[in-house]
Chain A
Amino acid sequence: MKPDMTVNLAGMLLRNPVMTASGTFGYGEEFAEYVDLESIGAFVTKGLSLKPRAGNPTPRIVETPGGMLNAIGLQNVGIDAFILKKVPFLRSVNTPAIANFFGNTVDEYAELAGRLDQIPEVAALEVNISCPNVKQGGIVFGTDPDCAASVVSACRAVTRKPLIVKLSPNVTDVVAMARACEDAGADCLSLINTLTGMAIDLNSRRPVLANITGGFSGPAIKPVALRMVWQVAKAVKVPIIGIGGIMNATDALEFMLAGASAVQVGTASFINPGAAQKIAADMEAWLVENGVDDVKSLIGALET
């Protein structure tokens, strides 16, 4: 019998738990040649800002053992061009498209959330809180529970669409952050964003990235991500999307055992543009082989 692969994520019924992560899948269109977009649960757009952003100087990426560092600098087309040039494609795909967005102030976050709320093709909103707050000396919203809560409540006030908050792992206590966001009105938490890291070129005695530091992603971060998902899942009631180094179905299923209701595939899509589709298919095959008739039965089923 075909197992039930559907999951319910804050009111969105996904055909399976596999999504693509923001910043690794463009605006969906870039991957249409390689992925049947209607074979995955949902996809998340590149992070959007009010104004277009050009991003950082190069080099912007560097590979390290088992992972990569990126300092793209949130390059994106901006909300206006998104509506004009990217949304028409979303209309043609029968898969929920989730808009990821970020701001430099609470007001910017709220304005973006309000505008994205008005776009019927956007199924849900994912807030990137790993950005500096320019009004408070550049403290990163996602590293201070009060700061994060103020962003989440401002967004919550202007949208009725499912509101996903993407948590930063660059904190001492991820559970405190998760609770603050849940209390402020988040419908769902996605974690983890990239870990801050750096790479050095010994011969030139210089950092490899023009930005000096960058976000570390890829299979090397999976153990950290699994631990954080597991900690947060025990502490909150809202569903969790597990992210961090997922390369195959085994990784994805481990995140579900740790407490994730869905997963996002990120860096793996760079290596295999069809990674998310394959992971979804392989998860289903694993369920069949192991006599599991509903993928939801694995959520938080870790035995300790």
Chain B
Amino acid sequence: MQFTAMILSNAEVSPGYWRMRMTAPPEFASAAPGQFVMVRVNGAIDPLLRRPFGVFDVGTHTPAHSGAVAQPYLEMLYRVVGKGTAMLSELHETDLLDVLGPLGKGFDMGDPDEEKLIVGGGVGLAPLYLLARELVKKSPVRLFAGGRTRDDILCITEFERLGVECYTATEDGSLGECGLVTEALLRRLDALQGRATIYACGPHGMLNAVAGIAADRGIPCQVSLEGYMACGVGACLGCVAPGHRHSAETPDFRCVCTEGPVFESGELKWRD
């Protein structure tokens, strides 16, 4: 669905990372965790293309003044990486945005009896909050958040408020453990009684490590990918990722925007 959203708030939550809330059509309340939106930053031709962002949260905004109608909203968490996101960060309350979504295939909620282990790196946490919000309704949930420095560990308080047990690790040791967050994940897996499912979103190196751990231990794992995409609806074929059978002789590409962005990690090709 294509709609005009009005920005309700846009704030820097950590150096370089922003959280934006905007109005959304009522249908957005049923957006699946892991789905994304394509946002047009402005009506000009530079930047030309929409930018994809994971849906961080959805809800209903109740305006402060009495008598106003409650308004469904969506939130996104984004990192300023280039011209488009820099322009986005300069927008204010009441500014309008052209949005397409919710798009793509979201996370599978899995079996309620299993423990849910969520692994996120930096802005990769964006689609994982809505996921955690849904998962905590039925299962115990643990979050493993990693980053280069403390600035890359985002919105942990929000996850804790959901009742999620949070583990953090930074490469420079400025917050939580010093090192990679996959170390904490491995320890939890060692202590695990019963079954679990892993959900991950973040830099490709982190996803590669998490997919390897899941494969070694025979644990189901879903990953959410990013891709350079022009359209978000399966037409440009810019955002494909190699599937598990992919080779130069027998290519096997999956479209991130329509077949994903969430994939079973075993469906994809990873580095050995």
Contact = CB atoms under 8 A, between A and B. Distances in A.
Interface of A: 23-26, 30-31, 33-34, 54-55, 58-63, 65-68, 70, 72, 75, 218-220, 247, 267, 269-274
A61 B228 contact: yes
Contact of A272 (B2, B227, B229): B2
A72 B238 CA distance: 6
A61 B238 contact: yes
Interface string B21-50: 000000000000000000010000111111
Contacts, number: 92
A28 to B, nearest CB: 10
A272 B232 CA distance: 11
A68 B51 CA distance: 13
Nearest to B231: A270
Contact of A30 (B1, B100, B233, B241): B233
* Cβ-closest 8 pairs across A and B: A54-B251, A61-B238, A270-B230, A270-B231, A26-B235, A60-B238, A219-B45, A65-B46
A197 to B, nearest CB: 14
Contacts of A31: 233, 235
Contacts of B48: 63, 65-68, 218-219, 267, 271
Most buried by B among A54, A70, A271, A272: A271
B252 interface: yes
B234 interface: yes
- Main SS of chain A's interface residues? loop
B228 A59 contact: yes
B45 A218 contact: yes
B240 A62 contact: no
A220 B47 CA distance: 12
Given A68-B48, A273-B100, A58 B236 contact: no
A33 B48 CA distance: 22
Nearest to A60: B238
B253 interface: yes
A55 B254 CA distance: 11
B2 A58 contact: no
B236 A61 contact: yes
Nearest to A52: B251
15 contacts: A24-B236, A30-B235, A58-B238, A59-B238, A60-B239, A61-B229, A61-B230, A72-B238, A75-B237, A75-B253, A247-B45, A270-B236, A271-B230, A272-B2, A273-B233
A195 B49 CA distance: 18
B49 A273 contact: no
A267 B49 CA distance: 9
Nearest to B98: A272
B208 to A, nearest CB: 15
